[in-house]
Amino acid sequence: MTTNAYSTLHVSIEDGVARIVLDNPPVNVLDATMMRELRTALDALRGDSSVRVIVFSSADPEFFLAHVDMRIGERTDILEQLAASAPADVNVFQAIGELLRHQPQVTIVKLAGKTRGGGAEFVTAADMAFAAAETAGIGQIEALMGIVPGGGGTQYLRDRVGRNRALEVVLTADLFDAETAASYGWINRALPSGQLDEYVDRIARNIAALPDGVIEAAKRALPAEHITDGLLRENEAWATQIALPAVQQLMGRGLRNGAQTPAGERDLEELMRSATRQ
């Protein structure tokens, strides 16, 4: 089964495994349209008992999800729709991660390229993530934009890597290679790039083929923790910073310097550090 009902996603289903390929050129930013389509797709799959595993990958080998679109504030029409349908006590960005964390299927990210900011939050919200050792990178870039993660990243990171390393990730705003991310517990495993597809495909198929009830029982025994208070604290911290005129000016300089283009995104950390010095 294949569905082409989306403009930023390619969704196919076979043998109990749904595969969602993220495709939003030129660098796979997480924009308002993709956010809406991800919520639609996850809601649809939530009610499909024939699907047991969801694997996320990217159509762009360089970028999984670059980060949240720096121009997302211009799409107030879609953001208002997303806010109206979001669960209570979470913002529209946190709603994506919370939907993913509480999905009944096992969710797996196949990370071949770079992901930062909201893209990194998406990876951390999934049940499992496997990355290409030579080419993958993951980071929370927000501090270089004058803000803090606002899509659940602070809370997901603390759960995955501990408070000390979460502070390191957030405040250095560095891009972490796959092997370091795996050693921290941020992702499950770093694999040679030539083995990544085969490995993820094998575990997805094996999990999907488990006897009835096993996945459900495992997810009941190992539930995603409810972190409402932490998400509220994060949203307050993020909202305080994002409202500052200096933050908007900094993002504007970043965009003028090449952010959200392939060339600029290859070393976005240096680009944004240069923008802070202008």
Per-residue pLDDT tens digits for 191-234: 999 999 999 999 999 999 999 999 999 999 999 999 999 999 99
**pLDDT for the residue 2:** 53
Class of residue 77 by CB neighbours under 10 A (exposed 0-12, middle 13-18, buried 19+): exposed
Whether pLDDT at 4 is above 90: no
CA distance 112 to 57: 8
Greater confidence, 278 or 194? 194
Identify the residue with better confidence: 5 or 192.
192
Q: What is the CATH number of the domain that holds 181?
A: 3.90.226.10
Each residue's pLDDT tens digit, 22-72: 999 999 999 999 999 999 999 999 999 999 999 999 999 999 999 999 999
CA 2 to CA 56: how far, in whole Å?
15
pLDDT the model gives residue 5: 85
Note the helical H segments in 61-192: 76-85, 92-101, 118-125, 153-161, 163-172, 178-184
pLDDT in tens, 225-257: 999 999 999 999 999 999 999 999 999 999 999
What is the number of structural domains in the chain? 1
CB 268 within 8 A of CB 276: no
Domain residue limits at 64: 2-212+221-276
Asked whether 196 and 112 are in contact (CB, 8 A), the reply is yes
Is the predicted pLDDT of residue 3 greater than 80, yes or no? no
* Mean of pLDDT values over 119-128: 98
CA 137/CA 174 separation, integer angstroms: 10
Cα three-residue angle 44-139-231, rounded to 5 degrees: 55
pLDDT exceeding 90 applies to what percent of the chain?
92
Share of the chain above pLDDT 70, in %: 99
Model-level pTM? 0.96
Question: Tens digit of pLDDT for each residue in 265-277?
Answer: 999 999 999 999 8
Q: What is the mean pLDDT of the chain?
A: 96
149 Cβ partners below 8 Å, 6+ apart? Answer: 117, 121, 140, 142, 157, 170, 234, 238
